[in-house]
Amino acid sequence: MRSKPFTLSCARATFYDRDMSDKYDITFTVNGDKRTIRVEPRRSLADALREDCGLTGTHLGCEHGVCGACTVLIDDQPVRSCLMFAVQAEGTRVRTVEGLAIGDKLHPLQQAFWDHHGLQCGFCTPGFLMLAVGILERRPDIAEPELREALSSNLCRCTGYQNILKSVLAAAAEMRK
């Protein structure tokens, strides 16, 4: 028996009885801009941001959810974009590192990373920035031990983490002003 097709809330694509290689049109908001892209179901959100949206600030390290370099915000919550398929982002609001600065003015977290030497090679930095934005927006007064634990989500092979912690604490103080 063939059943009725199922559709996503605002998708034109029919999510039923299609071949694996068929592509889906998905629409979501990236850094405030509405975007529609055409992707295979197996396309990760990270690859969709980089390849289909041209936003290469989101980095891919391990591609299995351990390193956190690909962390972005989905509806203001930090997630690993390598562990989410782009089709799952239909209708969501995505924020990436490209959305942090306003023109030439760096986000307080970016400025703090600069001021406190919170990066060296910079590969992990977009992930750390988005993780920290997600944390501080929800808990601007987060205590240092908890922040330390929350930042342990992501890997950095240059800094030894101390300056990242210092940067986020400084940014938190700045953002509370």
Partner 1 sequence: MKPVSFRYFAPRTVDQALELLATHGGEGKILAGGQSLVPAMNFRLARPASLIDINRIDSLDYVREDGGELRIGALARHARFEGPVAGGALGAFLPRVARHIGHLPIRTRGTFCGSIAHADPASEWCLLAATLDAGFLVVSRRGRRNVRPNEYFVGALTTILEPDELLTEIRLPLLGEDWRTGFAEFSRRAGDFALAMCAAFLRFEDDRIVEARIGLGGATDRPSRIAAAEALLTGSEGAPDIFREAGNIAAETIDPLEDIHASAEYRRDLVRAMVARALDQASAR
The footprint of partner 1 on residues 119-158 (CB under 8 A) is 131, 134-135, 149-150, 152-154
- Eight-class DSSP state of 52: I
Residue type (1 letter), 4: K
Cβ nearer to partner 1, comparing 103 with 145: 145
| Integer Cα distance of 77 and 79 in angstroms | 6
| Integer Cα distance of 90 and 96 in angstroms | 16
User: Least separation, in Å, of the C-beta of 17 and partner 1?
Assistant: 8
CB distance 78 to 131 below 8 Å? yes
| Integer Cα distance of 160 and 145 in angstroms | 16
By CB under 8 A, tell whether 16 contacts partner 1.
yes
Structure token pair of residue 136: 């501080």
The footprint of partner 1 on residues 67-126 (CB under 8 A) is 68, 71, 77-80, 82-85, 87-88
The C-alpha R_g of the chain, in whole angstroms, comes to 18
Applying CB under 8 A, among 42, 105, 157, 176 the residue interacting with partner 1 is 42
User: Least separation, in Å, of the C-beta of 105 and partner 1?
Assistant: 27
Contacts with partner 1 by CB under 8 A lie at 3, 6, 8-9, 15-16, 18-21, 24, 40-42, 44, 47, 63-65, 68, 71, 77-80, 82-85, 87-88, 131, 134-135, 149-150, 152-154
